[in-house]
Amino acid sequence: MKRRFRLSIGERGIKKDVAQEIEFHIDMRTRELIDAGADPADARAQAIATFGDVPRFSEACEGETRKRVHRAAWKERLDTVFQDVRYAIRTLGRSPGYTVTALVTLALGIGANSAMFSVVDGVLLRQPPYANASRLTVVAHPVPSLQIADLAFSPIEVSEFRAGTPAFDQLAEYHSMAFDLLGHGDPRRVQTGVVSADFFNVLGVKPYLGRTFAPGEDAMGAAPVLVLGYDFWVNQLGADSSIVGKSFTMNDRQHLVIGVLPPLPAYPNSNDVWMPISSCPFRSSPQVRNSRTARMVSLIGRLGPGHTFQEAQRELATVESRGHVEHPDDYKGVKDASILASPVRIAMKSDADSAFMILLGIAALVLLIACANVAHLTLARQLRREREFAIRGALGAARGRIVRQLVTESILLSLAGSVIALGLAWASVGALARVAAKFTPRANEIVLDWRVVVFTLGIAVLTGVVFGVVPALGDRSDLATRLREGGHATSSASKVRMRSLLVMVEVALAFVVLVGAGLMIRTFEGLLRTDVGYDPEHVVTAHLDLNFTKYNTSALDRQFDDALLARLRLQPGVVTAALASEFPASSSSPQNLTAFDIVGRPAPDSAHEPKAELSIVTPAYFATVGTRILAGREFTEADRDSAGRVTIISQSAAHRFFGNQNPVGQQITVPGAKNLELTIVGVSGDVRQFGPAADVSEQLYLPFQRFTVRDARLLVRSNAPTGATSNLIKDAVHALDQNQPVIDFRTLSAARDDAMGPWRLTTILLALFAAVALAIAAAGLGGIVAYTVGQRTEEFGIRLALGAEPSAVRWLILSDGLRLVIIGLGIGLAAAVASLGLMSRLLVGVRSTDPMTYGAVAAVFVSVALLACLVPARRATSIDPASVLKGA
């Protein structure tokens, strides 16, 4: 029986086969009928009638066959892929050196991108985890002249905004304060979000347990209730699921726990617990409720359907300007207060976001370098495999099939690399999130989830296609020629050119990455060396927020403060101790920028009003932080009584506002201090109050004893170790009041280091990326030089045999390698100058075109290149000319 082979069969084939089969049946039937004695004239008609509806049955047969053929075709395609994959695994396994190098290179390149993408995706790309995120609008009250980003709003203003903004469905208010929480364990100081009852509804947050605030629970006189934050509930209360319905004591009142929140961004602040405004003694006090200037709350609104941010901005601005017109007295000193409504995703951006974007960009460059290097390794491998391809070609493998095989190998490699990369990213993402938590509210959204996996696999496939196809591009020679050339692998000139090009690309890209890292290192090193104007070593700071229900008069406050400082100064090891409203690097932006007038001078317009950052400090503050008094004196105990209308200004403020005049003895008036006239008694050294990266700030200091600060920072300079000093502070506070919390122990140097956090992280990651880039580029360069030396062994042998100096041959090799490096560096230089301007925002004290950095990086490259070329060069000159010539 003869067989017909059909690997694939088209639509026409299907129809033909079915027709033929049915035709055969009808013929056979006709013949049978005739044999049985039927009239040949109508036997065929009879046969067709017995068969039935021919078109219907044909169609049914064709349908079945079509399904079968399609499935077979898919199966064949899959089989081919599996076959390619199996073959790829076998061939890759045969060259473990290539496979491992490519895998490591790809894993590092892809892993860097996965990790950085998870960060950027978490803090920038995805919507915040609020159900109404796309409609949430954060309303700020900026005062440009005082560099205040948000002055906040008073409750009276809030009610006016609610009435005048139809664009909003709801407009919720928010502020955050610390309170003492008693019950269920030790007394705790808890950061408390204080909100209108509709706040969680506006955000679209559903409770994790229990419920959130109900309408009316924020009305004055409502029973106090609490909603717990997720982290607080887990970390402080052991995730006790029976907590709903229990009570805590806060501010001498029972607060009923009604619910627990899900994990949320630390936005607008990180809060432990939440209460309605009616439960907050400050917010519900008549002074706050009835004053237009009691600006203490922020606003966040949800746009109604069909309304836009622009509409909201317009409506808010209208209400604001009406306030300025109707109540000019309430805008004294903040005449240029305005309104800024922004989508919540924008409002949640942090200063570090641009650093993350730059890191992702640099990671992409590292991947490109990895890609170029693997492409170049792949080319080298293909040169060695030319014979294999030629034989397969001669045996009938189509050129397309061979290219597909190569691309299968490269995609397989990059997918395997991406699995390792995901492992690397998974291992590092926790640490990245922890570090990022110091400067972005959305750090808990930095996770390795399906979005990161999809991104990773996507770039892996792209990478595989790029480094699989690029090597095939330069190849136009036909197989037969190559086979005829026989013997050893023949170096098609185009492939060698392509390899050189790839190495130049690697060098150029690596140069950009290294210069980026260099600029960052210079910035960071500059920050470390910056004279901050104080001595951060050996000073421990703590947060002392006196319980205001107990210390409810300034006299009681003062009594406690005096007793505490006196007690601390007597402790062994303690050099000095002080209290202050803030300390250097305790915040990264002005907190109390204050306008003042100089007595005896005409009042300037508000834009030119003297302004300085106000700190309230006790005597010995300057001695404690280690800032010198340059003229006049420090505050003394005598400054506490009414005679003590004194102030100290910093050198830069003195210089700016008094020029060459001696500021000591001059008088100023500060509007906040009830228009008291203050005499300048001293000039202090300049301090970088907002961290080493910020400029020196103009400072104004007032004596703590006259201007009480309940929420104060305690500073102790001590010779004892940090831990001992912290315990000593705790003991001293508790000796005076068992129930007074003192928290947030931090050394002054840690505060300075934290202020450099984004720079530290960026520097470390960029240095890491740069090391990877340099290693890959050096390996690539060494690889190509070694290959060319291998190719030219005969030539060198002949040269040496003819009496060439080994040093001349060595130079020949070095100059070949150096030529690639120098062209690469030239391209890199242009690319770096063109692109690294994007980094300017991160750079402090160094320009993005800093010649020092460029020079140093170029020098590093040339030395690494020399090293990479020297090894093969030495091998070349140690060739025994005789053996080469015999072999040739």
Strand 273-276 to 743-747 pairing: unpaired
We find the least distance from the C-beta atom of residue 23 to other proteins, in angstroms, to be 10
Select from 54, 244, 364, 827 the one that contacts other proteins (CB under 8 A): 54
Q: Which two tokens stand for residue 193?
A: 């979000």
Contact segment (CB under 8 A) with other proteins among 66-74, 470-478, 565-573, 803-811 equals 66-74
Select from 64, 388, 478, 695 the one that contacts other proteins (CB under 8 A): 64
Query: Which residue in the block uniquely carries the two structure tokens 């230089």?
Result: 829
We find the least distance from the C-beta atom of residue 63 to other proteins, in angstroms, to be 8
Q: Is residue 31 within the footprint of other proteins (CB under 8 A)? A: yes
Select from 15, 57, 589, 679 the one that contacts other proteins (CB under 8 A): 57
Return phi, psi of residue 20, to 5°.
-65, -40
Select from 25, 44, 655, 792 the one that contacts other proteins (CB under 8 A): 25
The total number of residues shown for the chain amounts to 888
We find the least distance from the C-beta atom of residue 22 to other proteins, in angstroms, to be 7
> Three-state SS for 286?
helix
Q: How crowded is the C-beta side of 334, counted as CA atoms within 13 Å?
A: 27
Residue with Cβ nearer other proteins (28 or 528):
28
Q: Is residue 29 within the footprint of other proteins (CB under 8 A)? A: yes
Q: Is residue 150 within the footprint of other proteins (CB under 8 A)? A: no
Q: Contact at 8 Å (CB) between 718 and 685?
A: no
Contact segment (CB under 8 A) with other proteins among 56-64, 252-260, 374-382, 730-738 equals 56-64
Rounded Cα distance, 280 and 180, in Å: 12
In sequence order, what DSSP letters do the residues of 177-240 get, joined into one string? Answer: EEEEEESSSS-EEEEEEEE-TTHHHHHTPPPSEE--PPTTTTSTTPPPEEEE-HHHHHHHHTT-
Residue 823's CB is within 10 A of a number of other CB atoms, namely 16
Q: Is residue 21 within the footprint of other proteins (CB under 8 A)? A: yes
Strand 677-684 to 539-545 pairing: unpaired
Select from 10, 37, 52, 600 the one that contacts other proteins (CB under 8 A): 52
Residue with Cβ nearer other proteins (24 or 811):
24
Residue with Cβ nearer other proteins (72 or 133):
72
Q: Which two tokens stand for residue 400?
A: 């397309």
- Give residues 476-535 in contact with other proteins (rule: CB under 8 A): none
Structure-derived torsion over alpha carbons of residues 499, 503, 505, 511, reported in degrees to the nearest 10: 180
Residue with Cβ nearer other proteins (22 or 623):
22
Select from 13, 16, 51, 723 the one that contacts other proteins (CB under 8 A): 51
Site string for other proteins, 70-109 (x = CB under 8 A): -x--------------------------------------
Beta bridge partners of 541: 715, 746
Contact segment (CB under 8 A) with other proteins among 2-10, 201-209, 277-285, 310-318 equals 2-10
Per DSSP (E only), the strands in 333-388 are: 340-343
Q: Is residue 1 within the footprint of other proteins (CB under 8 A)? A: yes
Select from 11, 20, 149, 852 the one that contacts other proteins (CB under 8 A): 20
Residue with Cβ nearer other proteins (68 or 841):
68
Residue with Cβ nearer other proteins (49 or 743):
49
Strand 677-684 to 646-650 pairing: parallel
Select from 11, 13, 16, 28 the one that contacts other proteins (CB under 8 A): 28
Residue with Cβ nearer other proteins (5 or 450):
5
What one-letter code names the amino acid at 605?
D
We find the least distance from the C-beta atom of residue 59 to other proteins, in angstroms, to be 9
Q: Is residue 33 within the footprint of other proteins (CB under 8 A)? A: no
Q: Is residue 381 within the footprint of other proteins (CB under 8 A)? A: no
Measured CA to CA in angstroms, residue 354 lies from 39, 351, 404, 847 at distances of: 95, 7, 41, 17
Query: Which residue in the block uniquely carries the two structure tokens 């750090």?
Result: 443
Rounded Cα distance, 794 and 700, in Å: 80
Q: Contact at 8 Å (CB) between 217 and 247?
A: no
Strand 597-598 to 539-545 pairing: unpaired
Binding site for other proteins (CB under 8 A): 1-4, 17-18, 20-22, 24-25, 27-29, 31, 50-54, 56-58, 60-61, 64-65, 67-68, 71
